[in-house]
Amino acid sequence: MKKDFARGMSHGVPIMLGYLSVSFGFGIAAVGKGLSALCASLISLTNVTSAGQAAGIDIIAAGGTLLEMVLVQITINMRYSLMALSLSQKLDKRFTTPHRLAASYGITDEIFAVCAAQNTPLTPAYMYGVIFVAVLGWVGGTAMGAVAGEILPEAVSNAMGLVLYGMFIAIVMPPCKKEKGVLAVSLIAVVISLLFKYVFTVVSGGFAMIICAIVASLAGAWLFPVKDTREGKE
């Protein structure tokens, strides 16, 4: 068990280093929205989702409703359910229901990628090791960014706050270059977002985000359907 936990921690170090820089930007952004450093850190500790947290603090700052918050988080974080289903096929027999529930807390894009790449069944100790180190980096980076946001000049804080959005752009650009469908969906979402920003201003930011995600996804599924490549398919 100790060996698996240590191996998980070693595999989680690269994730932790990446999370430090990204969550630093979230911490600054959260303080800029009027949240305290403690509140920002608790959000990171209890959520562990960059896009969800970024959208969440926007809704909090705008005084959005709980329904709006719930719908936004479901829309943004639905992918984690699919990741969990995929990882469930690689779990060791020691993964009882309590272990599954505990490990589900730390399923993120990066942790999923590392765990899915393992050639051996995933043990609870291994996943806990990866999650522990990764979450440590996520929460630690948030705390440092939030504290920095409280003491740095406003001009510097605003510049550093772009780190989180820079990460989103870095994630989207590579697949946009390879797949015209991804590029089209991204552009559709951008256009719809601009319409809500400058034309349909009565719609709140949270619901605008939900509509953008759903409409762009449906348009992508209709215009660029994924072909079934299974053998024997007519």
- Assign 3-class secondary structure to 149-194: HHHCCHHHHHHHCHHHHHHHHHHHHHHHHHCHHHHHHHHHHHHHHH
Examine residue 116 and state whether it is found in any structural domain, yes or no.
yes
Examine residue 190 and state whether it is found in any structural domain, yes or no.
yes
pLDDT confidence of residue 229: 56
pLDDT confidence of residue 128: 97
Q: Are residues 83 and 161 in the same domain?
A: yes
Q: How confident is the model at residue 230 (pLDDT cuts 50, 70, 90)?
A: low
- Contact (Cβ atoms closer than 8 angstroms) between residue 137 and residue 15: yes
Torsion of CA 227, 225, 109, 15, to 10 degrees: 70
Q: Are residues 131 and 202 in the same domain?
A: no
Instruction: Report the C-alpha gap between 139 and 70 in whole angstroms.
Output: 22
pLDDT confidence of residue 234: 45
Q: Is 132 left (phi over 0), alpha (psi -120 to 50) or beta?
A: alpha
Q: Are residues 123 and 215 in the same domain?
A: no
Q: Are residues 61 and 126 in the same domain?
A: yes
Q: Are residues 101 and 201 in the same domain?
A: no
Listed residues 171, 187, 210: the one ending a domain: 171
Examine residue 232 and state whether it is found in any structural domain, yes or no.
no
What is the span of the domain harbouring residue 122?
2-171
- Judge whether residue 179 has pLDDT over 90: no
Examine residue 49 and state whether it is found in any structural domain, yes or no.
yes
pLDDT confidence of residue 123: 95
Examine residue 234 and state whether it is found in any structural domain, yes or no.
no
Supply the Cα-derived Rg of the chain in whole angstroms.
Answer: 19
Domains contained in the chain, number: 2
